[in-house]
Structure 1
Amino acid sequence: MASGATKAAANIGMIVAKRPEKPGSAGKVVELKTNFIAVSTEFKYPKVHYYSFEVSDAKKKKAGRKDSQKVFEQMKKNQKFGAKALPVFDGGQVYSISQLDIGHRKETRSHSVKIPVDADGSGREKDLKVEVKYQGEIDLSPIGDYVKEKSTSAWDGNIQSSLTVLNAFANNKVRLSFLSVGRKAIFPPPRDNRPIFLPGGIEMKQGFYQSVRPGWGRLTINVDICATTFYPAGPIIDLIPKIIKTKFDRHEKTRDELRRGLDRREIDTLNRFFRGVMIFVTHRSDNRKPKHKVSYLDSQPADQAKFKQGNKEITIAQYFKETYKQTLQFGRLPCIVVIKPDKTKVFFPLEVCEICPGQRYEDKLSDDARREMVQKTAIKPWERFDRIETAIKDIFRHQRDENLRSIGMNVDPEFIKVKGRVIQPPRLTNGTEIVPDGGRWDLRKFIKCPRLHNWSVIVFENRNYAPLEMVKNAIRQLVSSLSERGMDVYPDPPIEYGNPQGGYDKSLLLAAQKARITRDRPAQLIICVIQKKVLGASGIHAIIKRICGTQLGVISQCIVANNMKGQNPSRWRQICGNISLKINGKLGGKNCVLADRELNFGTNKPYMVFGADVFHPGREEKGRPSVAAVCASVDKTVTRYVGRHSMNQKIKNEIIENLEGMAVELLNQFQRENNILPFQIVFYRDGVAEGQFQHVVQKEVEALKRAFSRVYGEKGEKGQKPQLTFIIVQKRHHARFMPVQRGDSDRSGNCRPGTIVDTEIVVPQEFDFYLQSHASPLGTARPTHYHVLLNEANFPVDAIQTLTYKLCHLSARCNLAISHVTPVHYAHHIANQAKHFVSWDGSGSGRSGSSGGRGGDTVPNTTRCEKMKSGIENEMFFV
């Protein structure tokens, strides 16, 4: 990199946008209730002592979080910290406002602690050792300075440390009282004590989340409801019917049916479910209930599986009858196998096993389970706020919390009310002016349509389930929908039936060739009718996208066969309307655009909007690389985008490693299409937490600046280097709003689309705001939190907020305002497709896999990420 760019990049980390002095004023002012409560401004931000707290067993193996918490509770109960001490526990740290009675400051004190068996009698007593050492004081005054109204303080490590300490004090009592996940979520038992099951036997628990947050001139506490999934606790025999039930089963198996045994599919389902799960057994005569980690399920039933005892072989069922005087009631069911450290295998019949409570289910949910979880957690705003208010009064009870009292933190239990603003929706046009109503609009004609003459249909479904005549009728309706909206469509595409067993690639290649033969030109589009019930729509969809995009270079559109069935013609017509939007966008058309003068970048010179996101694999995919995606607008209406993706080399790296290279390609593409380079760039970056802001600014803004030097020339020989506005987009937060006056809400009780909050629950000096851009008819709308980190164009508050809102109306996938800006929406879809373009061997995956894939590790040299074929890499294949 040239020296000038190096010098500029070195200072990037110090340039973080401040909130403009003139506040925003656009829109109608409304009073909103927030799910934040206020910490008294009398809080003194004291100094807090902190100690390391390391727990280990007799073999010096580090104890887990639950055992460490039990040790802390036991020591506190036995007054090991001092008779009047009120310490709080935060994993490997203990905090206290007064110095604890553990000896001299500089020495490490060791304690032996015996923790009892669990309340249900499971597990065993453990003798553990804890080493406690004084580490120093944490001064909370930096966060006090940070929240002052005329503060010039910036977010840094001291602010993060202060929030960690304050959250430990705020959450310590409830975490020790209830089942907890992480540091901020608790799950009290439901009032009716009835578990909520999702498809696949997974239990969903609903609870509450609490986090201390910086606000305008004071601290706040954000309280919300939350939900997550667990393995259901209890006897395995009672849970098996729920685990093996499919959506095609009319009823759950009875105990009598279980006694007759299980088929191979059902055993495989149980094997996947139980692998790595902690259980305890209930058959011992001494009433002990030892815990074990499941290795797998045996393929043979208990009354057939044999092992050698002395000089004879006996079955598991015989062993239990002779040794424990217990006749198995479910002898035809398989056994759980536990492999001990010495490689010995121990077999336990399912009827003597229970799942230990409190175990998170962290594997990927099925489509059906995810859909049902969304339905069960979607509640109206007033119900959400009522639940939160009840939790504040009955569960958190901040006024009675001795830990908060110890540091002088008083909390007002009433919700903070703020003055929000509802800005007007933009005017759209498809040749006729369109004004969105409630975040949606009707679109009968497209403003620009391509010709669709070279396309074909391939059906990956049995002819009996999707007969040819049914497919033809459905495609006629799709052709009619496209034609009505202005597209010139060849009405009779060839229809082929694919053979997945022979390989999807061969079937898709045949479909592409059929389209080419029809009009003697390259295929424009392949419609793929998929069978959702076999692999799941996402699995087949991923295969098709990879083959069509990286091998054939042709646009694809998947349709689930069941949607084509004729029981509900109006529903299929509606689906065709939605598919038409996508097809037109994918092939280079434009559905609608913002009306003239709606896009205001504060300049008459060319502008460009970027969106970026990174796909990170889940915990069940250890070692899988992250995939980054960037897309950018290449036209003045900001409706046509070009996308790029790349694989990060470092495991779990939050930074987009190849941002410079992708930005260079996108800038060059803009120049090819417009014969000029952009003067102004607005870059929206998704998926970054507050603690990573400075790191992202330093790394990714530097990468963009290097890209500008490469494309524009070091001194701007090819034109003035662009002004860069860099904005973080946060969707994963717990802020919610509800209008105080019913007349200010929409029909669902939510804020109206276009609602902005940028006071009271944010800090004064940082340029951030909450924007709820969409309608949420089912549940409580989640606003998106935007942080402007770099503002070289000096956008005023109203300008960047209205521009951001308008960019939420331009997705080619739907006729409604979406919850965040369109370029981020597209980048997310590109990343989710591109994750399937990685040739990854899957080593180290799964709960019982190796620990490969630690943060900072690099992916193997054999791992590759395929690129899109040149024929469609500059098309909107991701719509």
Structure 2
Amino acid sequence: MGPRPAGAGGRGRGGPSRGGPPTRGGAAAGASGGGSAVYTTSPHVTTVGVKRTAFGTSGRRMEVYTNHFAVKIPEAVIHHYDVISPSEKTLPARLNMELITTLQLKVAANIFTPRAVYDGRKNLFAARELPFGPNTPSREFEVEFNKKTYKIRLTKVAEINPEVLARFLEGKQSHDNAVLTAITALNVVIRMEPTLNYPFNVRSFFTDKETKDIGSGIVLWRGYFQSIRPAIGRMLINVDISTGTMYKSGSLLKLCLEFVGRSDQPLALAPRRGFPDRERLRLQRFISGIRILTKTPGEGQQSRTPRVLKKLSTAGASDLTFTMREGGTMTVAEYFQKTYNMRLQFPEVLCAEVGSGALIPLELCVVPPGQIMRKQVPPEKTKDVLDFATKRPEDRLQSIRNGLSVLQYGQSEYVRQFGMVVDEAAGALTINARVLDTPTLRYGKGSRQPTIVRVSEFFLIDKKFYSPASIDKWVVVVYERQQRFNANNVREMVEGFVAACRDVGMVVKDPNPIVRWENGQGNIGAQLREAGKECMTKTGSPPSLIVAVLPEGGTDIYTAIKHFGDITMGVATQCLKSSRCFRAKPQYYANVSLKLNVKLGGINTIPDPPSAPFLTDPNNPTIVMGADVIHPAPGSEGRPSFTSLVANVDSDTAKYIAASRVQTSRQEIIEDLGDMAHHMLDMYMKYRRGVEKKANPVPKRIIFYRDGVSEGQFKQVLDLVDSRRVLEACQKLNIKPTITVVVVGKRHHVRFFPKNPSDGDRKSGNCPAGTVIDRDVAHPTEFDFYLQSHGGLLGTSRPAHYNVLYDENNLTPDGLQSLSFALCHVYARSTRSVSIPAPVYYADIVCTRAKNHYDPNERLDFSDSATNLEEGAADQSLDKFKRGFKPLHQKMTTLMYFS
């Protein structure tokens, strides 16, 4: 239905082990931390990362629940088939599932008894060999669905013997393609039932039993994640709750009005009534790709086949003309009047253009329920999503247990026919954990306690920074209206700010800065430059610090300020929210001082050497690096990925520098890692030689933490080591440090819950900071562990998963666990231990700040939902982003500007 313009038509993880003795340079002894329990895998087993040879033993013992359930794996052979639709391009997974369901139930029910399971793409698994006939491994079927015929060819490609999987779980088999395929098959088995019955997204599915309307046309649904995971000696199912963001069902017109914030004004979407093109594009980005049904005018019925919305028209139905096949032109409104004798209620409102080219008035479009929004959630709705998703540990564990009644493994015909048995009666597994000793930190002279064991939370009372910085001349620029943030507000802010800095040992030479009020709609760079000139005129020297007071929603102002300070002028900037400055408590400014001190070259705290001997060993200088890659949001076309590398330059692993680059979109390998690593190593040696006056400036050890890698990308990251980018940087500098590479993952659904509530964090109920698990749910053959290094504030904390990919330092499990835990305590911006080692955290921050390297006046579009949907849209190619990426100002290359 609807007018058509003329011409419209319808990881394999095999490979050699990277463990064992160092390959060059003579590795130092493993990190201290006590003895480790020996673990033995078969000698012939190879791993992608370092082979596990031991377990950790240090720390206090504790029992925890985990969101895993034991599962008995099949005993019979599983038959693997490749699925091809020769006559079709790539189809949506949901349509593929419907085609295979039709094939099994209607087209060839006699062949598919019992029914096979399908992953929605290429893989189909059967509990028995499909009877295609003697010596016939392949067969083609014709499936009619929604009045269209699809050809589907199934070809047998392998038989999976579960014995291979059993041997892998016992440490007697490498994690090769056969094991990977077996695990994939079991995952498809457990997901088949819910995938057929509920909206799904990769490994999660969602139900409408618990929902929340958060406005802007978005409704949240509670979902369940499930994944088969290999563990030491057994197979487990990892079950967790998840959150689905859904388009609000019902009228598409109402959904659009909600998104633009004009729910009761349909004509707000009429270009003739002043609906701006900028807002039309923003709305188009939000709803492009949505499936819609159409109402039949006069009959009130809906079409059965959904159509995909491609874009919005630039004019309303009464102004939008098209050429008819028989010749002549007509407006969309006239078409519906002539064809259906229907006068549109809102003829001035936009139309939806669907994939076939048809133009349909928004008032005739209906959004079916359960449609996942695969776009970035608008920033203003992030808190609503977090509120819905966040549950205290005891509540989350109960929701997971309740989820078994939805999953119903025992009732699933697919789970039963493949011979899998989930031990639901035993409930969530109880496993053993250890709580590591908290490292001791050292503060500066004048502190009441020069060293302190940092618990999960404390304040800066009576503590001085280890190396406090000095504030010489500074200016305050207020971007809030003077009526809202007047001279008295500024005086109170300055007094609180100065007092907090002095309390922690920082020197503020001039407690009366220059103050200016500016308009945030103006040229921010020019305004800050004028503030600097005024400081120069009045004091004889430029400011070493610019403090900016921002209004709510001042994101663009913030970006422009950071570009001016970090890129253009090389001056430290500190942004404060005006709302936080009103009658702010001393702790607020104390938290600000944490960021400010390191931006100005100071050091807040260092690990006490006895607590981190591997990091502070004077005979084996160690550089710790953190690397990250951040990709554009789903649906964002033309946006690049950003990379970063962060490393310490001092002997106490507390003072870090950073480098950032722009590269090919969604590429996991860091293209410029070699150049960035060369810069870090060079700066490390210059600092030790020139500032610390060390006789041995050359690093002997490198600990390289890599963030943001999923399990399926391990091999890619290993290629990062194979290509020797870091090693090549060392060779150019003629140094030979030994290297350890550790992947730190947070994109998983493993959770731990204290079995005894008294063992948990007293405020959040989470496992205490320092909880480590390297046995029951760990990998059968590789050196990995989970470390929950923070107590958490809200909800259930997620432990970090550490996987050692490469090790020339012969680190023991206890040594690497204590080393990583210590690094979680030296994060400069927090008075609590954080969830991942500080250099990894910094690398993540540097990536998110990469957009600040672009001149804000050039107006490159960095919105997460940005996509070039319009013909003639500006070419925002990778080359353009690379050309526009400005280098860091020389003065900032030695400072923690990113803090």
Tell me the TM-score normalized by structure 1: 0.86
Matched, 1:190 2:202: no
Matched ranges for 1:678-717 at <5 A: 678-700=699-721, 702-713=724-735
Q: Residues 440 and 208 of structure 1: is their aligned pair in 2 closer, same or farther, counting only changes over 3 Å?
A: farther
Q: Deviations over 1:81-128 (max 9, x none)?
A: 615232110122211121113346556433221224xxxxxxxx4332
Paired letter, 1:583 = L
Paired letter, 2:122 = G
Aligned to 1:654: 668
- Choose from 479, 489, 492 the match for 1:473: 492
Q: Is the 8 A contact 2:271 2:314 kept in 1?
A: no
Q: Deviations over 1:560-606 (max 9, x none)?
A: 23333x3xx145x4332221111111111122222341112184422
Rounded to whole Å, the distance in 1 between the matches of 2:321 and 2:638 is: 38
Counterpart secondary structure, 1:190: strand
Q: Residues 604 and 502 of structure 1: is their aligned pair in 2 closer, same or farther, counting only changes over 3 Å?
A: closer
Rounded to whole Å, the distance in 2 between the matches of 1:694 and 1:293 is: 36
Aligned to 1:717: none
Q: Deviations over 1:252-279 (max 9, x none)?
A: 6388999999763676764553344332
Counterpart secondary structure, 1:790: strand
Aligned to 1:66: 94
Matched, 1:768 2:784: yes
**Larger mean Cα displacement after TM superposition, 507-516 or 212-221:** 507-516
Question: Percent identity among equivalent residues?
Answer: 27
Q: Deviations over 1:753-779 (max 9, x none)?
A: 111111111134321111111122321
- Choose from 444, 447, 455 the match for 1:437: 455
Paired letter, 2:111 = G
- Choose from 521, 530, 537 the match for 2:550: 530
Q: Is the 8 A contact 1:75 1:81 kept in 2?
A: no
Counterpart secondary structure, 1:51: strand
- Choose from 419, 422, 425 the match for 2:432: 419
Aligned to 1:874: 894
Q: Residues 460 and 56 of structure 1: is their aligned pair in 2 closer, same or farther, counting only changes over 3 Å?
A: farther
Aligned to 1:409: 420
**Larger mean Cα displacement after TM superposition, 260-269 or 791-800:** 260-269
Q: Is the 8 A contact 1:435 1:441 kept in 2?
A: no
**Uncovered stretches (5+) of structure 2, i.e. residues with no partner:** 1-21, 28-45, 690-696
Q: Residues 152 and 810 of structure 1: is their aligned pair in 2 closer, same or farther, counting only changes over 3 Å?
A: farther
Counterpart secondary structure, 2:647: strand
Give 1:340 shift: 6.4
Q: Is the 8 A contact 1:46 1:141 kept in 2?
A: no
Paired letter, 2:592 = I
Figure out how many residues of one structure are paired with residues of the other and give that number. 823
Aligned to 1:353: 365
Rounded to whole Å, the distance in 1 between the matches of 2:891 and 2:216 is: 42
- Choose from 45, 51, 56 the match for 1:18: 51
- Choose from 673, 678, 689 the match for 1:664: 678
Give 1:134 shift: 2.4
Q: Is the 8 A contact 1:261 1:332 kept in 2?
A: no
Rounded to whole Å, the distance in 2 between the matches of 1:407 and 1:455 is: 71
Q: Residues 55 and 694 of structure 1: is their aligned pair in 2 closer, same or farther, counting only changes over 3 Å?
A: closer
Give 1:142 shift: 3.7
Matched, 1:146 2:168: yes
Q: Deviations over 1:44-81 (max 9, x none)?
A: 56542222222366xx4443222111110111112446
Paired letter, 1:388 = I
Paired letter, 1:77 = L
Matched, 1:829 2:845: yes
- Choose from 180, 183, 199 the match for 1:179: 199
Q: Residues 752 and 62 of structure 1: is their aligned pair in 2 closer, same or farther, counting only changes over 3 Å?
A: closer
Aligned to 1:506: 526
Aligned to 1:3: none
- Choose from 793, 798, 804 the match for 2:809: 793
Paired letter, 2:412 = D
Q: Is the 8 A contact 2:323 2:330 kept in 1?
A: yes
Q: Residues 110 and 155 of structure 1: is their aligned pair in 2 closer, same or farther, counting only changes over 3 Å?
A: closer
Give 1:373 shift: 0.8
Matched ranges for 1:616-765 at <5 A: 616-648=631-663, 650-675=664-689, 676-700=697-721, 702-713=724-735, 721-747=736-762, 748-765=764-781
Q: Residues 175 and 574 of structure 1: is their aligned pair in 2 closer, same or farther, counting only changes over 3 Å?
A: same
Rounded to whole Å, the distance in 2 between the matches of 1:781 and 1:44 is: 34
Give 1:447 shift: 2.6
Matched ranges for 1:51-130 at <5 A: 51-55=81-85, 60-78=88-106, 79-80=108-109, 82=111, 84-90=113-119, 91-103=121-133, 108-116=138-146, 125-130=147-152
Paired letter, 2:373 = Y
Rounded to whole Å, the distance in 2 between the matches of 1:292 and 1:44 is: 41
Matched, 1:446 2:459: no
Give 1:8 shift: 6.2
Q: Is the 8 A contact 1:201 1:239 kept in 2?
A: yes
Q: Residues 467 and 17 of structure 1: is their aligned pair in 2 closer, same or farther, counting only changes over 3 Å?
A: same
Rounded to whole Å, the distance in 1 between the matches of 2:770 and 2:409 is: 34
Aligned to 2:67: 35
Paired letter, 1:483 = R
Counterpart secondary structure, 2:785: strand
Rounded to whole Å, the distance in 2 between the matches of 1:876 and 1:633 is: 10
Matched, 1:371 2:393: no
Rounded to whole Å, the distance in 2 between the matches of 1:488 and 1:660 is: 39
Matched, 1:482 2:501: yes
Q: Deviations over 1:638-688 (max 9, x none)?
A: 11111112233x432211122121111111111111121122222111112
Q: Is the 8 A contact 1:271 1:297 kept in 2?
A: yes
Give 1:443 shift: 4.4
Give 1:434 shift: 2.4
Counterpart secondary structure, 2:67: strand
Q: Is the 8 A contact 1:180 1:186 kept in 2?
A: yes
Rounded to whole Å, the distance in 1 between the matches of 2:244 and 2:272 is: 32
Q: Residues 515 and 631 of structure 1: is their aligned pair in 2 closer, same or farther, counting only changes over 3 Å?
A: farther
Q: Residues 837 and 570 of structure 1: is their aligned pair in 2 closer, same or farther, counting only changes over 3 Å?
A: closer
Q: Residues 261 and 230 of structure 1: is their aligned pair in 2 closer, same or farther, counting only changes over 3 Å?
A: farther
Counterpart secondary structure, 1:636: coil
Aligned to 2:15: none
Counterpart secondary structure, 2:431: strand
Paired letter, 1:660 = G
Q: Is the 8 A contact 1:632 1:666 kept in 2?
A: yes
Rounded to whole Å, the distance in 1 between the matches of 2:132 and 2:532 is: 75
Rounded to whole Å, the distance in 1 between the matches of 2:286 and 2:233 is: 49
Paired letter, 1:824 = V
Give 1:428 shift: 2.1
Rounded to whole Å, the distance in 1 between the matches of 2:527 and 2:76 is: 69
Q: Residues 27 and 264 of structure 1: is their aligned pair in 2 closer, same or farther, counting only changes over 3 Å?
A: same
Matched, 1:225 2:241: yes
Counterpart secondary structure, 1:456: strand
Rounded to whole Å, the distance in 2 between the matches of 1:863 and 1:758 is: 46
Q: Is the 8 A contact 1:32 1:738 kept in 2?
A: yes
Q: Is the 8 A contact 1:626 1:647 kept in 2?
A: yes
**Larger mean Cα displacement after TM superposition, 688-697 or 802-811:** 688-697
Aligned to 1:337: 352
Aligned to 1:456: 475
Q: Residues 505 and 50 of structure 1: is their aligned pair in 2 closer, same or farther, counting only changes over 3 Å?
A: same
Q: Is the 8 A contact 1:80 1:102 kept in 2?
A: no
Paired letter, 2:680 = L
Give 1:437 shift: 3.3
Q: Residues 156 and 443 of structure 1: is their aligned pair in 2 closer, same or farther, counting only changes over 3 Å?
A: farther
Paired letter, 1:190 = K
- Choose from 566, 570, 587 the match for 1:553: 570
Counterpart secondary structure, 1:630: strand
Q: Is the 8 A contact 2:311 2:869 kept in 1?
A: no
Q: Is the 8 A contact 1:655 1:700 kept in 2?
A: no
Q: Is the 8 A contact 1:15 1:790 kept in 2?
A: no
Tell me the TM-score normalized by structure 2: 0.84
Matched ranges for 1:849-864 at <5 A: 849=869, 863-864=883-884
Paired letter, 1:421 = R
Counterpart secondary structure, 2:790: coil
Counterpart secondary structure, 1:294: strand
